Each structure stands twice: as C-alpha cells, then as structure tokens.
Amino acid sequence: MKILVLNAGSSSQKSCLYEVDSATLPDPVPAPLWEAHLDWTHQATVAELTVKTQAGVCRRWELNPESRSESMAFLLRTLWSGETQVIESPAAIAAVGHRVVHGGQEYRESTRVTPPVKEAIARLAAIAPVHNPANLAGIESVEAHLGEVPQVAVFDTAFHSTLPQAAAVYPGPYAWREQGLRRYGFHGISYQYCVQRVEQILGPRPDRRMVIAHLGNGCSLAALRGGRSLDTTMGFTPLEGLMMGSRSGSVDPGLLLHLLRQGEMSVEELDRLLNRESGLKGISGISADMRQIWQAIAQGNPRAQLAFDIYVHRLRGAIASMLPAIGGLDALVFTAGVGEHHGPLRSAVCEGLAFLGVRLDEAQNAASPRDADIAAPDSTARILVVHTQEDWLIAQECYRLLTPDQ
C-alpha cells in the first residue's frame, strides 16, 4: 500500500511517499520512495521545492505560483512524471495521511477525514492559528488534485488524551473545564514514535517510567508510564511550558495583564511578541536556532550565553517536575533537532540531574549517535537519543486505520 504523508506548517511542507505493508511495519524504518520539501520562508513570492527519490534522484525548483494550491499541484505531479517519477499515476496512492496539530476534545485518535472532521479542524484554528489552517489547506489540496483518495488526520493532541484530570484541568473557574479550556499537550506524534523506538532499543517493559524531551524550534516534555502520557508541558496552546526557539513558554500571567493594561500593546502584538519574538531569539537578539546561539557563545556574546542558561535552567526544572507523575525515572529521551544533535545541551541538562544518579557517557554524547543509549554504565536511568520520524508514524496510523484486519 502506497501512502502519501503531508506534514504541513505555516511556511513549509514536508511530504513523503511510503510503501507500507505488514512486513515493513517493524524496525527498521524504511526509506521513503519519494520525499519533497516545499518552503515559502526565503522569498515572499517564491516557493522553493526540493524532491528526492529512493533511487537517488534530486531536483530543485523555484516556483512562482498564484496560490499554495498551485504549488501543491506541481509537487504532486513530480510523483508520477519527470525524473522524479516513482508511481505510474495518481491512482497508485492508496491513502494520504496528515499531521493535524489540534484535535480538541473530540478527536482522541487518528480519524478518517470527513466533512465534520474538516469543520472541527477549521474551528480549532482559533486555538492553533499557526498550524491548523495549514493542515486543513493540505487536506483541501489533496481533494482538489487527487480526488476521493482516503485521507487520515493524525492529531498531535490525541496522544495526550490519557492525561489525568489533575494534569489536564487548569485551576481557574470550573466553567473553563466545561468550555474545553484545558491542557491538551502537543508533539504527540513524535512522542508516540519515540515510545515505539525506545522499546525496540531497550526492549519492551510494561511499566517503564520515561521523560521524553522534544527539543526543536518548538519544545515540550512528556512524562510517560507504560507508554501513556501522564503529564506534559504544553497546554491549551503550544505556547505553554518550556522556553523555545522564538516562543516564550510559560510566563507570569500577571506580566501579560500588565503589558495590556499599559495600553501600548494590542492582543495581536502580544501574540506576535510571545510566539515569534521571544525564547532564544528574544533573549539573544540573534536567532531562534540553537546552532547560531552556540556559535555566538563561542565568540563571547553575553546575551547568547544568557539565552542558553535560561533554556537549560527551565529544561532541568521541568524534567524534575515531571517525575512525581510517573514515580521515578527509567529513561530520559532527547529527540527533535536540538535534542538529537546538540551534545553540550544534553550534557548541561544531565549535569543538573546528577543528584538523581543520571550520568552520560560523555564520549557517546559528543558523537550524537542516532537511536542509541548514551548513558554511562552506572547511570540510574538510561539516556537515549532518538531520531524522531513523525512521517513514518503517520503512515503507520493510516495503514492501521485502513486495514483493521491485518
């Protein structure tokens, strides 16, 4: 079964085509037959498209479309035409899976796309305005260009549907809970994949106590026991929790009220400030990219050093705060761009957790190996680097949903 995966963001889209059957579901993760990256970030009126195939063909285009739907149409045609062709026709695509950031209270598992599902995704755009509209646009582009192929929405929030009420409900008026104003959590697709991968690396254990740190431009933690999410740092929106690339994470709500009462900042301006001008970017004044922060630190930049120190301080404290929910720690997992590739950050975090008996093998850590245990032999918890593969998890979910008897 050939399954196309669309992982759409506000300014870019990653797409993969997988061949999925019962034989490919176990480890290792198969390479996609075809993968594409569509990016609108570098030039306002230009869409940059890169397409690669399993056979080694790589092509790049600069498109000047009148709409994103036109860009999608061009991207899809590279599947069945030209040098990047990997299928005979659109009919070869059995299903399309989409990452959808927010599923609200209605959708607690992956779901076939129907008109009511589309309506819910659109409605929840008020909570996830950066992501849900792009996710819905991807669904509608497939409808326009591939017709009635089955589509599946895989929700980032669904993984956290196991949160206990004590972790999910905000301590405001009880009416908030009744209105769905609660903590949802995000990065669930990444967490679900990491749970699978850790079991493959360490072996299955039904009660494993694990904290996963998903550290990319967006950052969050999840505390898991037996593979179930019992606590997480993001909440009603992806803004709550850890310091991130350009997002502030949690700050005193009174500070936000103070800024609004001064009358010099609108709600829209405050939203932009917290989501796009804070975090590493806001403190350093340099970038949201940890690699550039680290280069600036090496050059003696004090604001870059402060940004890194705040990031580490908050991350250490948040990891420790996860442990009561799961009763200890058997495994600490680092994943996503920063988590997978930044050895000094992992070292700094684990140094602050040394009182728990958590110890790195520094040589292994410096090498940043993929999908490996980098803990010292005497560490009380295993420490893993896992290369998260959300797209493959989405493909698995499509296969599971569409072939229930397999």
Which residues are catalytically annotated?
156
What's the start-to-end Cα distance of the chain, in Å? 12
CB contact burial 261-274 (16+ within 10 A = b; e otherwise) = eeeeeeeeeeeeeb
Q: For helices 132-146 and 68-80, give the axis angle rounded to 10 degrees.
A: 50
Cα 117 to Cα 95: distance, rounded to the nearest angstrom? 16
List the beta bridge partners of residue 382. 331
Contact (Cβ atoms closer than 8 angstroms) between residue 64 and residue 51? no
Cα 117 to Cα 152: distance, rounded to the nearest angstrom? 10
Residue 34: CB partners within 8 Å, gap ≥ 6? 16, 17, 51, 52, 53, 54, 78, 79, 84, 86
| Residues comprising the chain, all counted | 406
Contact (Cβ atoms closer than 8 angstroms) between residue 185 and residue 160? yes
Looking at residue 65, its amino acid is P
